[in-house]
Structure 1
């Protein structure tokens, strides 16, 4: 009987094709791991910066829209309604019909202005400080509003403008919410300055190539101002501690 002999295993380097395959697999794995680690490290910083810049742009667009289309065309006196006699007996209220119409127009205007910017149709002639709006029309139409240099993630002033640019897109979420607020400040002797603000709140979605987040933008824009004059008091004291001399003013009623 013949016995089969086992061939001895050859000892030596692996064939080139195996080496190439293993090298390729290791390269893909290490590259993917490196990108994942870098992404986790830079994402919070870049997203925080993108949120801040997007809020600036949204506030700018809202303020400009209200200032041009609402404030410049609104009669401030029409916002207020006065009842009673002149002096302390006068009551100043807001004209409900006018205020309601202003809020309605503001909501429509803000939504349209933000949508136009989102689609690349709106123009930002004087952007906020530190924000460079994308000038390429094609990129703007694709929704890219501006770019962030990757160096911003280093928090180093020398490296802030280095590295590849990361595109940033934004889109509005839902409808804008508008409301009216008033403030009353002392103005001279027994007078008050009444200021009416339109408060706008809108949610925008900030989109980076590797992450997305929602930023809430809130801003107040003054639309009307009025000085309410009260009656002049009979006595006026310059100091609150009693050190100033009290001056008696003439009273026509006496």
Structure 2
């Protein structure tokens, strides 16, 4: 009877030890997985953050290069808008010529769209950055995560790709400000808004980029009414081209 009890106790202890070991192994696996996930997320977010800054810079440069001097030279900018003054020579209103504005925005936006399509294929020759046939717009060296110049170019290189989504939105914005005595400065900007998806091997993110491109400055005789507090502005209707 004593032998049977001892055997039973030994079996129970052995079984409990196995269960305890399995629990420990399970907890170790969970802990390692959690730590690995944190490390991977931190590394991915680091590369994503750096990618966003680089993509914004490249895209802004591409948009600026797409708006060529020829486009602005061929365009009679004064035909895009009309300034209305009252009897006191004060600027009261900015009106747009919708036909002329839409014609200009169509030309500019199509040029930007062509540049973005090339960019998605890795073609950045328009801004002097060469061409990657695999669709990668640039690479981030893995060693850059150390922030040490010695190790910056070590390790594998992380490819970064982009895709433009939604539509390209554009409009003309005119701002009028007081400029000296009885003069006004008219500043005309081209405003471009696009959405892009940045794609890395393990993570992706959608971003919005808005570019203001000055296209014209002009000084006219006149002044701003006091109720405008020294400046007034008005944007044209938004012109949209969907990305296909």
Asked whether 1:220 is paired with 2:212, we answer: yes
Give the secondary structure class of the aligned counterpart of 1:44: helix
Q: Are positions 1:78 and 2:76 aligned together?
A: no
The answer (yes or no) to whether the contact 2:179–2:185 under 8 Å persists in 1 is: yes
Unaligned runs of 5+ in 2: 1-28, 224-244
Matched with 1:47 is: 48
For normalisation by structure 2, the TM-score amounts to 0.67
Instruction: Provide the rounded CA distance (Å) in 2 between the counterparts of 1:87 and 1:63.
Output: 39
CA separation of 1:89 and 1:125: change in aligned 2, threshold 3 A: closer
Counterpart CA distance in 1 for 2:212 and 2:95 is 20
Q: Could you say which residue in structure 2 is the equivalent of 1:112?
A: 114
CA displacement 1:21-53 (0-9 Å, x = unmatched): xxxxxxxx9xx9687554223111110000110
Task: Count the aligned residue pairs.
Answer: 191
Q: What's 2:230 paired with?
A: none
- Contact 1:76 / 1:225 at 8 angstroms: preserved in 2? no
- SS of equivalent to 2:192: strand
Match of 1:5 in 2: none
Aligned-partner Cα distance in 2 for 1:71–1:163: 46
Cα separation, partners in 2 of 1:44 and 1:84, compared to 1, 3 Å = closer
Q: Distance in 1 between matches of 2:221 and 2:61?
A: 34
Larger displacement relative to structure 2 (108-117 or 68-77): 68-77
Distance (Å, rounded) in 2 between the aligned partners of 1:153 and 1:69: 43
Tell me the C-alpha RMSD between the 2 structures.
2.9
Cross-structure match for 2:186 = 194
Q: How far is 1:90 from its partner?
A: 6.8
Aligned to 1:174: 166
Alpha-carbon separation, structure 2, partners of 1:196 and 1:203: 23
Larger helix proportion of the pair: 2
Match of 1:154 in 2: 146
Distance in 2, matches of 1:86 and 1:147, equals: 61
In the alignment, the residues of structure 1 paired with residue 174 and residue 91 of structure 2 have an alpha-carbon distance, to the nearest angstrom, of 18
Secondary structure of the 2:155 match is coil
Structure 1 residue 162: Cα displacement: 3.1
User: Hey, what's the Cα distance between the residues in 2 that align with 1:117 and 1:72?
Assistant: 26
Contact 2:170 2:192 in 1 (8 A): yes
Please identify the structure whose Cα radius of gyration is greater: 1
Instruction: Mark the CA change 1:35 to 1:168 in structure 2 (over 3 Å): closer, same or farther.
Output: farther
Distance 1:86 1:165, change over 3 A: farther
What's the CA shift for 1:121?
4.3
